[in-house]
Amino acid sequence: MIKLSDRLQVIADEIKQGETVADIGTDHGLLPIFLYESGRSPRVILGDINQGPLEKAKENIAIHFGADALDSDGNHACGGALDLRLGSGLEPVASGETDVVVIAGMGGILMTEILGHDLNHAKSFRRLILQPRNGSHKLRWWLLQNGFQITAEHLVVERKYICEIMTVEPEKRTGTDVIPLPEDIPDETLDLEISPLLYESKDPLLVSFIKNKIRIEENVVGFVAEGTGEGEGHERIAAARKRLAALYAKLENAEAVMNDKTTGEEAES
């Protein structure tokens, strides 16, 4: 059985038994191989805009299922259960063709472009599992404005990064007009950047996630102060201080939530 990274395993765990899946930007095809090999998904589409990753996915399929697992056309494997397709975004997948769409390892803005290319097409699937590399707050804003509901969020460590994974369901309303991302997205409460769902689920990485943001912002203050020599009066430093205050408030709340969890677990034991 193939062993996934922690990041891919969290994504796999969001997929229910028997669901069909389209993995967009499949890269080496490890997630689809796991989903089929484990018996969780009876059929998985492996989509990528470049031929190179699909060729690598074919190599991995041959390693795990044998060279004869690939059909003669080279684009299907395991009797058609694994379907390799070349194309951009969701274009290789028909509307509603799979239960779930996975888009992982791309920037959040690129994800909004993929989903917004044909909004009704994107909403034809039951669920989407999204793992943005960056721009998660912009992705959340876009999803909420364009008729998607974020139903679950998870944090997972990959190397030195904490990755964010969102499970998303389209709302019933339809429409082709896409609300685009504005140049600036006000988020004084930081709820777009640090999802309230992480507090509800008491995600074990929540405190570390916020502390990392605080560390980054404190570094910014130091760099700006050193580079300008203007100290606290600099506009960027003032903005950073305001953001830091909001982050520390988030951290205090997160620590209280996690302490409640710890206290509850101790009481049960």
What would the pLDDT profile of 49-82 be if each residue is shown by its tens digit?
999 999 999 999 999 999 999 999 889 999 999 9
Residue 34: Cβ-neighbour burial (10 angstroms; 0-12, 13-18, 19+): buried
Residues facing residue 49 across a β-bridge: none
Token digits of residue 204: 């074990």
**How many whole angstroms separate alpha carbon 83 and alpha carbon 74?**
10
Give the number of residues written for the chain. 269
pLDDT of residue 71: 94
Residue the block writes with tokens 């989509």? 47
Name which CATH class applies to 6-183: alpha beta
Predicted TM-score of the model (pTM): 0.92
What would the pLDDT profile of 137-146 be if each residue is shown by its tens digit?
999 999 999 9
What whole-number percentage of the chain has pLDDT above 70? Answer: 92
**How many whole angstroms separate alpha carbon 58 and alpha carbon 60?**
5
For 150, the 3-state DSSP assignment is: strand
**How many whole angstroms separate alpha carbon 253 and alpha carbon 269?**
25
